[in-house]
């Protein structure tokens, strides 16, 4: 081997390579980036708390959690009132309606994709689910506002005194005799949230079902169970925790959803009395009002406190579902 | 002779045929759930595109919005989305890929690795509006004043940076960090361990192995993850609401300024923001403009995602191990 020039060799006579010299710094850079998600999470909490902190001791917490009076900009001379109860109720009712629709549909579709569908049908369904997940939340809000909203207000409208009007009143489908006051309401928001969380529930449940060993299925079939009995008696119990975690992540996503519910729920600060009453959620309140606040005033800081509440709720849901999945792994190893 | 079928020892008993019928029924119910997803989606998309169809032309893309979006095209929002995507990728792609390398190649099983995984899933679950609050608190109110103290000439205070492309890109980047970490880690994990062992046996160091063997073999998977991040960055509205997006941004109608309209310290408008503004903030907005804007955003997102899907299918066919 002909000796190379000194400038091109390093110790040991190997060819000089910038990457080799920088190996140690690179490893430290990689390590730092590895911690980036922890840093990011801590920074999120830190900065939101920093903006909210001056208001934390001053806020009337009892009013905040129990009063539905959210009046951040009162008429001159009156005290502002920060009662977020109606917003919290709005968030949870919309989420509840969304999940009532999304969980059965999502689990059904996941079972269908992982156990019943084959070949081309399966591939097509998976791609459709993926595209469903890709549609941005603002587009879902638009769909709620312009496509589903008009349908809902058409279906839930009636002549006062007619049979459908009485049915709606007795079943709490609408709170007035003439039906839903507007197309964007609790039900529309729930449907939109369902459509948004279904893809997540489907893909995670499908993973959970696929993780069940094939020997379970073979044993069930050998005992004479048909596919449906296999799903119900063997796969559901075996994948129980994974399915639960999928539904919880769907819940977390639905609670944190912003733009879709801003456009599709009607944005009315009231505790809903019927299925088609307009409501307002915590996320939509932050999105709609932050632009109007003055930096540093009470309203601004209370919106950050709402953000902390949301952050706490979604983080606990995520941690809980993570623990559930971890429990599965331990059980499988044992 | 009528009793002959009953003598068939293989004939289905009453219970078995009942079970069979129920199986067929449940199968149809399952496929019904799938249809419940697919059919409304198709109907909604068709509805949107039919109502937006009068606008379809190249001018609709090439022209700037006129009169608060009541007429004209989508050029300004398109440019804004493009630069937002590029900007957030510049921040998130290196950090995310290096983080995935750390998690997959360096980190040992233990509490630290476990904590990082939990942090990644928690970060993925943080609501987008909370990311917006974080961007407002950290980048707009924390970082920008610091930058302005450094760069702004006291004699020209009007040249200071405002909440704009830079702050919005950073916010979107933090939001997409868990997405890219997860997908890149999956891609790295798909490279067989034997490849690495062979390389180590030849005397290569850990970083050399990663650089010459692991990264080239997982590049395509990482690329798919990057495309998904692009599609998410292009569609998000909430995180850019208070961190740099504005309702309207006027950009030049011709010349270089049409392609490079503003600096990173200037507010911008994006496709998602444009749709939000013309749907909720402007009264007497013609419906066709709303449908047109929504249809354009859907087409953009679906194009990006189909590209990712096509790439993945092509790669699966090409895989040699």
- Going along chain A from its start, the domains and CATH numbers come out as 84-333 (1.10.3720.10)
What pLDDT score does A291 carry? Answer: 84
- How near does any CA of chain B get to the CA of A142, in Å? 7
Q: Which range (A56-60, A179-183, A328-332, B45-49) has the least confidence?
A: A328-332
Answer whether A117 sits within 8 Å of B34, measured CB to CB. yes
What pLDDT score does A68 carry? Answer: 86
Which residues make Cβ contacts (< 8 Å) with residue A66, sequence separation at least 6? A83, A85
Specify whether B40 is located in the same domain as B71.
no
Specify whether B98 is located in the same domain as B185.
yes
What pLDDT score does B1 carry? Answer: 47
* Contact between residue A304 and residue A52 where contact means Cβ atoms under 8 Å apart: yes
Place of tokens 């059965």: A104
Task: Give A97 or A57, the one with higher predicted confidence.
Answer: A97
Specify whether B28 is located in the same domain as B96.
no
With bands split at pLDDT 50, 70 and 90, how would you rate the model's confidence at B107? confident
Answer whether A135 sits within 8 Å of B301, measured CB to CB. yes
B195: exposed, middle or buried (C-beta count within 10 Å: 0-12, 13-18, 19+)? middle
Q: Is the pLDDT of residue B84 over 90?
A: yes
Q: Is the pLDDT of residue B78 over 60?
A: yes
- How near does any CA of chain B get to the CA of A5, in Å? 23
Residue of A29, A32, A44 for testing the chain B interface, max B β-carbons within 10 Å = A44
With bands split at pLDDT 50, 70 and 90, how would you rate the model's confidence at A307? very high
Residue of B27, B34, B179 for testing the chain A interface, max A β-carbons within 10 Å = B34
Q: Is the pLDDT of residue A102 over 80?
A: yes
What pLDDT score does A9 carry? Answer: 43
Answer whether A139 sits within 8 Å of B235, measured CB to CB. yes
A63: closest CA among A42, A47, A81, A79?
Answer: A81
CATH number at residue B120: 1.10.3720.10
Q: Is the pLDDT of residue B17 over 70?
A: yes
Q: Is the pLDDT of residue B131 over 90?
A: yes
Helix (H), strand (E), coil (C) string for chain B? CCCHHHHCCCCCCHHHHHHHHHHHHHHHHHHHHHHHHHHHHHHHHHHHHHHHHHHCCHHHHHCCEECCCCEECCHHHHHHHHHHHHHHHHHHHHHHHHHHHHHHHHCCCCHHHHHHHHHHHHHHHCCHHHHHHHHHHHHHHHHHHHHHHHHCCCCCHHHCCCCCHHHHHHHHHHHHHHHHHHHHHHHHHCCCHHHHHHHHHCCCCHHHHHHHHHHHHHHHHHHHHHHHHHHHHHHCCHHHCCCCECCCCCCCCCCHHHHCCCCCCCCECCHHHHHHHHHHCCCCCCHHHHHHHHHHHHHHHHHHHHHHHHHHHHHHHHCCC
Q: What angle do CA B263, B264, B266 make, to 5 degrees?
A: 70
What pLDDT score does A3 carry? Answer: 46
| Partners of residue B188 in chain A, C-beta under 8 Å | none
Answer whether A291 sits within 8 Å of B241, measured CB to CB. yes
Q: How many CB atoms lie within 10 A of CB A89?
A: 17
Per the structure block, which two tokens stand in for B191? 């490279």
What pLDDT score does A282 carry? Answer: 92
* Any A CB within 8 A of B137 CB: yes
CA A255 to chain centre: 5
The reply to whether B204 falls in a domain is yes
What pLDDT score does A76 carry? Answer: 82
| Partners of residue A303 in chain B, C-beta under 8 Å | 133
Specify whether B182 is located in the same domain as B45.
no
Answer whether A283 sits within 8 Å of B280, measured CB to CB. no
Per the structure block, which two tokens stand in for A27? 């490893």
- The four Cα atoms A122, A124, A125, A131 give a dihedral, to 10 degrees, of 150
Answer whether B34 sits within 8 Å of A125, measured CB to CB. yes
Q: Is the pLDDT of residue A195 over 50?
A: yes
Distance CA B162, CA B249 (A): 14
What pLDDT score does A7 carry? Answer: 44
Answer whether B107 sits within 8 Å of A34, measured CB to CB. yes
| Partners of residue A147 in chain B, C-beta under 8 Å | 44, 47-48
Answer whether A105 sits within 8 Å of B98, measured CB to CB. no
Distance CA B299, CA B294 (A): 9
Rounded mean pLDDT, A287-309: 89
Q: Is the pLDDT of residue B69 over 90?
A: no
CA A127 to chain centre: 21
Query: Which domain does B267 fall in, by range?
Result: 58-318
CA distances from A333 to A22, A211, A213, A328 (A): 41, 13, 13, 9
Specify whether B73 is located in the same domain as B34.
no
Distance CA A272, CA A223 (A): 51
CA A131 to chain centre: 17
What pLDDT score does A5 carry? Answer: 44
Answer whether A226 sits within 8 Å of B115, measured CB to CB. no
A214: closest CA among A120, A119, A115?
Answer: A115
Task: Give A50 or B13, the one with higher predicted confidence.
Answer: A50
Answer whether A36 sits within 8 Å of B291, measured CB to CB. no
Q: Is the pLDDT of residue A17 over 70?
A: no
Q: Is the pLDDT of residue A114 over 60?
A: yes
- Please state whether B186 falls in left (phi above 0), alpha (psi between -120 and 50) or beta: alpha
ipTM here: 0.88
What pLDDT score does B55 carry? Answer: 85
What pLDDT score does B5 carry? Answer: 52
- The four Cα atoms A144, A148, A150, A153 give a dihedral, to 10 degrees, of -100
* Any A CB within 8 A of B141 CB: yes
The reply to whether B203 falls in a domain is yes
The reply to whether B278 falls in a domain is yes
Number of domains in chain B: 2
Specify whether B45 is located in the same domain as B154.
no
What pLDDT score does A15 carry? Answer: 63
Dihedral sign (CA A115, A116, A122, A126): negative
The reply to whether B1 falls in a domain is no
Specify whether B48 is located in the same domain as B102.
no
Q: Which range (B59-63, B126-130, B212-216) has the least confidence?
A: B59-63
| Partners of residue B241 in chain A, C-beta under 8 Å | 287, 290-291
| Partners of residue B37 in chain A, C-beta under 8 Å | 105, 109, 128-129, 132, 198
Q: How far apart are the first and last CA of chain B?
A: 61
Which residues make Cβ contacts (< 8 Å) with residue A261, sequence separation at least 6? A94, A141, A189, A192, A193, A281, A283, A284
Distance CA A220, CA A291 (A): 59
Distance CA B120, CA B178 (A): 5
Answer whether A136 sits within 8 Å of B133, measured CB to CB. no
The reply to whether B3 falls in a domain is no
Of all helices (H) and strands (E), which one includes residue A81?
A: strand A81-82
Rounded mean pLDDT, B174-198: 91
Task: Give A216 or B159, the one with higher predicted confidence.
Answer: A216
CA distances from A9 to A17, B97, B144, B264 (A): 9, 31, 45, 43
What pLDDT score does A73 carry? Answer: 82
Answer whether A258 sits within 8 Å of B280, measured CB to CB. no
Specify whether B34 is located in the same domain as B152.
no
Specify whether B189 is located in the same domain as B45.
no
Q: How many CB atoms lie within 10 A of CB B193?
A: 8
Q: Which range (A106-115, A190-199, B14-23, B119-128) has the least confidence?
A: B14-23
Specify whether B100 is located in the same domain as B19.
no
| Partners of residue A310 in chain B, C-beta under 8 Å | 127, 129-130
H helices of chain A, in order, are 18-21, 23-34, 36-52, 61-66, 85-111, 119-134, 137-143, 149-155, 163-170, 186-210, 214-222, 227-229, 236-238, 240-256, 259-264, 282-289, 298-333
What pLDDT score does A10 carry? Answer: 44
Specify whether B208 is located in the same domain as B236.
yes
Distance CA A114, CA A122 (A): 8
CA distances from A153 to A138, A196, B36 (A): 21, 21, 21
Q: Is the pLDDT of residue A2 over 60?
A: no
What pLDDT score does B61 carry? Answer: 84
What pLDDT score does B134 carry? Answer: 94
Distance CA B179, CA A135 (A): 16
Specify whether B183 is located in the same domain as B224.
yes
Task: Give B248 or A49, the one with higher predicted confidence.
Answer: A49
What pLDDT score does A4 carry? Answer: 44
What pLDDT score does A14 carry? Answer: 58
Place of tokens 């912003």: A258
For residue A283, what is the nearest residue in chain B, using CA coordinates?
B129
* Any A CB within 8 A of B310 CB: no
Rounded mean pLDDT, A72-92: 87
What pLDDT score does B177 carry? Answer: 93
* Any A CB within 8 A of B204 CB: no
Distance CA B92, CA B135 (A): 15
Distance CA A299, CA B196 (A): 56
With bands split at pLDDT 50, 70 and 90, how would you rate the model's confidence at B6? low
The reply to whether B183 falls in a domain is yes
CA distances from A165 to A156, A189, A266 (A): 8, 22, 21
With bands split at pLDDT 50, 70 and 90, how would you rate the model's confidence at A1? very low
Q: Provide the 3-class DSSP secondary structure of residue A38.
A: helix
What pLDDT score does B98 carry? Answer: 93
């Amino acid at each position: 081997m002909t000796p190379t020039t000194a400038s091109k060799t390093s110790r040991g006579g190997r060819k000089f390579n910038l990457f080799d010299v920088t190996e140690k710094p690179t490893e430290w850079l990689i390590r730092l980036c590895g911690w980036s998600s922890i840093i990011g999470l801590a920074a999120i909490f830190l900065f939101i708390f920093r903006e909210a902190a001056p208001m934390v001791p001053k806020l009337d917490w009892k009013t905040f959690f129990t009063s539905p009076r959210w009046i951040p900009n009162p008429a001159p001379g009156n005290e502002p009132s920060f009662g977020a109860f109606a917003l919290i109720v709005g968030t949870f009712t919309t989420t509840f309606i969304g999940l009532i629709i999304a969980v059965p549909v999502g689990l059904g579709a996941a079972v269908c994709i992982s156990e019943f569908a084959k070949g081309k049908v399966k591939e097509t369904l998976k791609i459709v689910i993926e595209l469903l997940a890709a549609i941005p939340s603002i587009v879902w809000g638009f769909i709620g506002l312009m496509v589903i909203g008009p349908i809902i207000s058409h279906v839930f409208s009636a002549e006062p005194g007619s049979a459908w009007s009485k049915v709606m009143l007795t079943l709490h489908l609408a709170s007035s005799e003439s039906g839903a006051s507007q197309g964007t309401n609790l039900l529309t928001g729930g449907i939109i949230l369902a459509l948004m969380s279904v893809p997540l529930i489907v893909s995670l449940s499908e993973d959970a079902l696929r993780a069940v060993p094939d020997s379970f299925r073979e044993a069930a079939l050998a005992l004479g169970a048909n596919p449906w009995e296999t799903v119900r008696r063997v796969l559901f119990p075996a994948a129980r925790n994974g399915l639960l975690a999928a539904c919880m992540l769907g819940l977390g996503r639905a609670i944190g959803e912003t733009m879709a519910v801003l456009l599709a729920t009607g944005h009315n600060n009231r505790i809903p009395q019927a299925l088609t009453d307009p409501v307002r959620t915590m996320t939509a309140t932050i999105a709609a009002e932050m632009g109007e606040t003055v930096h540093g005033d009470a309203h601004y800081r209370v919106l950050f406190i709402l953000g902390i509440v949301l952050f706490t709720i979604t983080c606990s849901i995520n941690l809980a579902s993570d623990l559930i999945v971890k429990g599965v792994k331990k059980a499988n190893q044992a | 002779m009528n009793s002959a079928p009953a003598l068939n020892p293989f004939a289905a008993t009453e219970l078995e045929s009942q079970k069979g019928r129920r199986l067929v029924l449940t199968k149809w119910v399952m496929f019904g759930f799938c249809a419940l997803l697919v059919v409304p989606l198709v109907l909604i998309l068709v509805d949107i595109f039919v109502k937006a169809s009068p606008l379809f032309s190249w001018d609709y893309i090439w022209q700037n919005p006129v009169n608060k979006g009541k007429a004209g095209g989508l050029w300004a929002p398109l440019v804004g989305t493009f630069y937002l995507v590029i900007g957030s990728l510049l921040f998130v792609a290196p950090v995310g890929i290096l983080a995935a390398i750390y998690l997959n190649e360096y980190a040992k099983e233990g509490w630290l690795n476990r904590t990082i995984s939990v942090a990644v899933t928690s970060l993925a679950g943080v609501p987008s509006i909370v990311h917006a609050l974080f961007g407002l608190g950290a980048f707009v109110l924390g970082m920008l004043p610091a930058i302005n103290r450094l760069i702004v000439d006291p004699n020209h205070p009007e040249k200071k940076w405002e909440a704009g492309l830079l702050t919005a890109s950073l916010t979107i980047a933090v939001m997409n960090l868990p997405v890219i970490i997860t997908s890149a880690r999956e891609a790295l994990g798909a490279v067989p361990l034997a490849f690495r062992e062979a390389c180590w046996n030849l005397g290569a160091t850990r970083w050399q192995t990663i650089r010459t063997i692991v990264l080239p073999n997982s590049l395509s998977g990482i690329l798919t993850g990057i495309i998904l991040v692009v599609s998410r960055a292009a569609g998000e509205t909430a995180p850019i609401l208070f961190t740099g997006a504005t309702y309207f941004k006027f950009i030049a109608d011709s010349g270089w300024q049409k392609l490079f309209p503003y600096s990173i310290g200037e507010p911008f408008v994006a496709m998602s923001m444009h749709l939000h503004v013309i749907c909720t903030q402007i009264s007497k907005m013609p419906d066709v403009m709303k449908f047109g804007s929504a249809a354009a955003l859907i087409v953009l997102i679906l194009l990006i995602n189909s590209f990712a899907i096509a790439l993945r299918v092509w790669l699966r066919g090409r895989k040699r191990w």
